[in-house]
Amino acid sequence: MLPVSQAEAIILDLVQPLNEERDGEVVTLLTAIERILAAPVVSQLDFPHWDNSAMDGYAVRYEDVKHCSAEQPASLEIVEEIPAGRSPQHLLQRGQAARILTGAVMPAGADTVVMQEQTRREGNRVLIFASPEPQAFVRHQASFYQAGKPLLPTGIMLQATQLAVLAAAQCNHVTVYRRPRVAIISTGDELVTPDQLLQPGQLVDSNQYALAALVAQTGAEPLHMGIIPDRPQALKKAIARAIATADVVLSSGGVSVGDYDYVEQILQSLGAEIHVRAVGVKPGKPLTVAKFSASATANQKSVLYFGLPGNPVSALVSFWRFVQPALKKLSGLAHSWGPVFVQARSRHDLRSDGKRETYLWGQLYLVDGNYEFHLAAGSHSSGNLINLAQTNGLAILPIGKTLIPTGEQVKVLQVGSPAICPA
């Protein structure tokens, strides 16, 4: 039984991230939301594109206004109006100014902007009542970014701010990594789909739905392989089918002690090497992690296999703790694929038998900027998925710790956005 940290290190080490050349695809900006950049972006535009004004006011020659004051204002002739979007027509001569609006292009000859509040317009002249700093309120061409320099690096996720930059740089098409394909197999003779009539002893395959949602949320594409009965030949066929198309295979069920041998045998007979068999974690002890090397698969690329426990809670905890970081690393993200841990004040006594690293599910709240952890009410049996429904955090009790009392700090694995505490 491996400690959690060791299992995590082994798993991350097994991950072969998508390849920039082989796994890139070109998408348009509006379909690039939350995709991961697979090639660095360089723009041929300077930012700002031209010298422009940061204020509504008057574009002037500093020489003309450097000695002016409230008592001795400078009086300049207004030769043109330059709203944003219009190209200036005049070269400013000595004693001249141009009315200019925020974002508009600076006219040739001008080097400084005087803000409107320090001026008074009189017909076609303007009085300037305060001497500005030289070059005041001018945003200089290329002062934010110079054409040809790196704009965005590979391996970042494209969200609002990055998409705004790409749009501004007129990069309408970007190369992103394809979505990793994740096959989801549910194993168990007792399982039925949600629309089937439930017979005594049967249970709905909820893992298929939970795992599909988590896979999609991680930016990958779930491939539904459905329910496979507890027969080695059927499972072998399903796994063989999965590794032919997927980058990662998730199966749930059938990896506890009783069934374990035959899953391992199947994996090995298909050419996989087993790297993890069990982890000292509760819930989620039986966890099989195997890797098919490129030479073992039809399309010559390696496939990672996770045999998750069948219990719905165990399956999800294993996903959050081990599968999600692996998927993020595989997806091409350059960093930030590790799990997010926060410190929270526990609102309940948290108990464990101290034998395995224990994850207790509940809700993470933000109260006045600080995290609080509320243990989910009801049974903490790994078979109970009903009280898991509002979970956005898993409080962690390390091995040897049997109690974290109410009011103490606890390390929490964040698995959803923290809720804002009701008053």
Residues that bind ligand AMP (CB under 6 A): 186, 188, 190-191, 203, 205-208, 252-256, 309-312, 383
Distance (Å, whole) CA 100 – CA 305: 63
Comparison of 52 and 311: residue with beta carbon closer to ligand AMP = 311
Strand partners of residue 345: 372, 409
- What torsion do the CA atoms of 252, 257, 262, 264 make, to the nearest 10 degrees? 70
Comparison of 113 and 191: residue with beta carbon closer to ligand AMP = 191
Distance (Å, whole) CA 305 – CA 266: 12
- Judged by CB under 5 A, the chain residues 188 through 217 that form the site for Mg ion are 188
Q: How far is the CB of 173 from ligand AMP (least distance, A)?
A: 40
One of 48, 132, 180, 253 touching Mg ion (CB under 5 A): 253
Site string for Mg ion, 302-321 (x = CB under 5 A): --------x-----------
Q: How far is the CB of 283 from Mg ion (least distance, A)?
A: 15
Half-sphere exposure of 398 (CA within 13 A, CB side): 3
The three-point CA angle 363-365-368 to 5° equals 165
Which of ligand AMP, Mg ion, none interacts with 256 (beta carbon under 5 to 8 A by kind)?
A: ligand AMP
Which of Mg ion, ligand AMP, none interacts with 88 (beta carbon under 5 to 8 A by kind)?
A: none
Q: How far is the CB of 211 from ligand AMP (least distance, A)?
A: 8
Question: With CB under 5 A as the contact rule, which of the stretches 135-143, 146-154, 247-255, 301-309 interacts with Mg ion?
Answer: 247-255
Q: Which long-range contacts (CB under 8 A, 24 or more apart) does 398-402 make?
A: 398/357, 399/3, 399/280, 399/354, 399/355, 399/356, 399/357, 400/354, 401/352, 401/354, 402/351, 402/352, 402/353, 402/354
Which of Mg ion, ligand AMP, none interacts with 309 (beta carbon under 5 to 8 A by kind)?
A: ligand AMP
Can residue 48 be called a binding residue for Mg ion (CB under 5 A)? Answer: no
For residue 419, give Cα distances in angstroms to 287, 320, 340, 395: 31, 19, 16, 15
Q: How far is the CB of 8 from ligand AMP (least distance, A)?
A: 21
Question: With CB under 5 A as the contact rule, which of the stretches 220-228, 253-261, 276-284, 285-293 interacts with Mg ion?
Answer: 253-261
Spell out the residues 6+ positions from residue 197 whose beta carbon is closer than 8 angstroms to its own.
none
Q: How far is the CB of 277 from Mg ion (least distance, A)?
A: 17
